[in-house]
Structure 1
């Protein structure tokens, strides 16, 4: 039996639950950073960085701090039994648990907001879908407000949550542990519902999209991966009841809550970012196949830029960053097609038409006006460049 010094601040050796918390938090932080960094680079390089990308990047920053607090809490005794903890570690582990909890709540809300904004941008024309996403977004932030404020008000001052001497001396007043348990169960139930919604709602959107079967299967796999976040939340639920007896190895039991919650957030960051990397992967594959050519063809450029994926979003969006020139905004604004148009120096244009095309245009106009025909508007971004010398020579001849 190892004798623990009364004022020992940290565990001499991480093992068991403490080691699991430290390792999982560190690995989750590294993997999340790599994936979100690749997503950010892909979106910036495509000039399509939007609000959802900024929220995901912000969620990563919060998660890095969250993982740091969890690792420090593990060193202070989270995941270890009372017999291995000094009185100082007992107090410090509870302090880091409280700090971690407040950070985790904020990070998870930001990550889910990023996923919601992505879905809003993709399903711009589906009114029922947008309503469902807005409801999900409202539920996410209502849960955040309830949990965050509730945790802050458990003890006044907040230091009473970890310093029992303040409560015994009457310097702090705390609510009963039933309040903490009720708050935890409410937050967990809401988290499970919103986690499942973030995985299920895109599936409805996917079923209505015109995509190749291979692409649908790939996105379906990613959606199933996102559902693991809700499984992590379910696994941690039974450990909430250990708050009823805080003197019975509480740091050991609630360490499981920290462990599975950090797994949940890491899954949210990775699952929410992986679909956005599909365009980057496709582009690199095409570049490698055409490595011997001088550059990608016009058809390939247009196809790459107009590729739409779940979570990938579109370069043209109401939530996107500032653009160098104006763009059209309409319900089918889900992509950008880039065409290289060679114009002469004076910029004159000549309309090409024939009798058959004019007849078709008149019939289409009459159908739209008289019968309320269906029309789909698409936005195109046209880049003008000088006519190549070879083209000028051929025209001159």
Structure 2
């Protein structure tokens, strides 16, 4: 009988022991951090990039709201004795904890799935999704559906699930702890699959090895979610083997809140690159002029860093205005205006040209042909861009025939 749990505590056990406060503190700190990162993401999108929010942003906001529900369940469970030994509690406290558990599983499932959908939407916006990406969507959706099918089948009748602590009659149809373990493993497998999606796309980029490693490491920061999922599985295995349910389940509760918080932080990190670059540029302006001069003298030639677009859906034509500004005059013939396409946060689908024009000498001669400009640009830093225009010193007319 369920009420036998409250009898015969192990000898020497401190029934006043509790880890409710420490678990709640961990959950609150990580939730606040996830809230900060979502706020930085919102600031970056609206104020730094000045772009409308996308599907991935809205899904992350929803994931944050659901994660607040996770934290609320942790705190509510602790209020009724979650984190204390079961022998110090009574049927009423365990009934309330069990009701909260039933609601918590639904909220947790929705939160982790929405966060994963947000990350997949971000990948789709940057790279486009392959068949493997759509497999991850199907796997995540299947995980969510499985929870909604199995949870109402825990016991027959359903209310026996929480009234069993009063000795009510009913049938247990699903081993709760083992079900948590099974879906936890599926969840971890989905995390690993999603983590590998951007790596193959980044390796195809025409960029230096150091840049590839840096971009890959940024995406691999999401591996912290995998570690959180793995540790949550470990806590579930302890729950399977323990009779001290209220004590062992407290770890499952808190790690079911920690995992989505880390997922939110990891999902926001790739979107914060423009903000990071803005901060770095602001700090560089405050460096001593002597340091700037030494840094400038060490750099040879203009800083050009072209990155290819991976997804065909993000390829578009560039006209002459996009690259050289509104007009070409005597002040701008020897200087390229900074060209900036619709870029993603990681700058993986942009072509950016800045600094001194590689074809400066050609421009000063009064005429630039397609082959000359293209060859000059390739000699400098390998810009794969073709521009055709004619420069007339007398009229400053342009005859663009622009292709990319």
Same fold (TM over 0.5): yes
Rounded Cα–Cα distance in structure 1 between residues aligned with 2:368 and 2:125: 40
1:199–1:227 CA contact under 8 A, matched in 2? yes
Partner residue of 1:203 out of 193, 199, 203: 199
Rounded Cα–Cα distance in structure 2 between residues aligned with 1:90 and 1:35: 36
Rounded Cα–Cα distance in structure 2 between residues aligned with 1:109 and 1:355: 54
Rounded Cα–Cα distance in structure 2 between residues aligned with 1:334 and 1:222: 29
Aligned to 1:133: 133
CA RMSD of aligned residues (A): 4.1
Which segment is superposed worse, 55-64 or 146-155?
146-155
Does structure 1 residue 83 correspond to structure 2 residue 87? Answer: yes
Aligned to 1:194: 190
Structure 1: any 5+ residue segments left out of the alignment? 1-12, 293-305, 318-328, 344-351, 362-375, 379-394
1:40–1:57 CA contact under 8 A, matched in 2? no
Rounded Cα–Cα distance in structure 1 between residues aligned with 2:369 and 2:237: 76
1:58–1:110 CA contact under 8 A, matched in 2? yes
Aligned to 1:56: 60
1:70–1:97 CA contact under 8 A, matched in 2? no
How far off its partner does 1:194 sit? 0.8
Closer/same/farther in 2, CA of residues 234 and 288 from structure 1, 3 Å limit: closer
Closer/same/farther in 2, CA of residues 273 and 210 from structure 1, 3 Å limit: farther
Closer/same/farther in 2, CA of residues 335 and 175 from structure 1, 3 Å limit: farther
Aligned to 1:7: none
Rounded Cα–Cα distance in structure 2 between residues aligned with 1:152 and 1:102: 11
How far off its partner does 1:276 sit? 0.8
2:184–2:233 CA contact under 8 A, matched in 1? yes
Structure 2: any 5+ residue segments left out of the alignment? 1-14, 288-304, 328-362, 375-383, 387-395, 397-404
Does structure 1 residue 225 correspond to structure 2 residue 214? Answer: no
Aligned to 1:38: 40
Closer/same/farther in 2, CA of residues 175 and 334 from structure 1, 3 Å limit: farther
Aligned to 1:184: 180
How far off its partner does 1:187 sit? 0.9
Aligned to 1:10: none
How far off its partner does 1:356 sit? 4.9
How far off its partner does 1:146 sit? 0.4
Closer/same/farther in 2, CA of residues 76 and 218 from structure 1, 3 Å limit: farther
Aligned to 1:175: 172
Rounded Cα–Cα distance in structure 1 between residues aligned with 2:130 and 2:85: 48
Closer/same/farther in 2, CA of residues 89 and 291 from structure 1, 3 Å limit: same
Aligned to 2:142: 142
Rounded Cα–Cα distance in structure 2 between residues aligned with 1:14 and 1:279: 51
Rounded Cα–Cα distance in structure 2 between residues aligned with 1:183 and 1:335: 55
1:177–1:244 CA contact under 8 A, matched in 2? no
Rounded Cα–Cα distance in structure 1 between residues aligned with 2:280 and 2:368: 44
How far off its partner does 1:354 sit? 7.1
Aligned to 1:26: 28
SS in structure 2 of the partner of residue 77 of structure 1: coil
Rounded Cα–Cα distance in structure 1 between residues aligned with 2:235 and 2:368: 76
Number of corresponding residues: 309
Equivalence map 1:55-134=2 (5 Å): 55-124=59-128, 130-134=130-134
SS in structure 1 of the partner of residue 130 of structure 2: helix
SS in structure 2 of the partner of residue 183 of structure 1: helix
SS in structure 2 of the partner of residue 330 of structure 1: helix
Rounded Cα–Cα distance in structure 2 between residues aligned with 1:271 and 1:335: 34
Closer/same/farther in 2, CA of residues 193 and 244 from structure 1, 3 Å limit: closer
Does structure 1 residue 249 correspond to structure 2 residue 244? Answer: yes
Alpha-carbon displacement from aligned partner over 1:238-285 (angstroms, at most 9, x marks no partner): 443566678x21111122212222221111110110111111110232
How far off its partner does 1:53 sit? 1.1
Closer/same/farther in 2, CA of residues 339 and 69 from structure 1, 3 Å limit: farther
Closer/same/farther in 2, CA of residues 141 and 14 from structure 1, 3 Å limit: farther
Please, what TM-score do these two structures have when normalized by structure 2? 0.65
Rounded Cα–Cα distance in structure 2 between residues aligned with 1:274 and 1:257: 26
Alpha-carbon displacement from aligned partner over 1:199-228 (angstroms, at most 9, x marks no partner): 222222222224455544443433443212
Does structure 1 residue 271 correspond to structure 2 residue 266? Answer: yes
Alpha-carbon displacement from aligned partner over 1:314-357 (angstroms, at most 9, x marks no partner): 9xx9xxxxxxxxxxx835369999668447xxxxxxxx997954
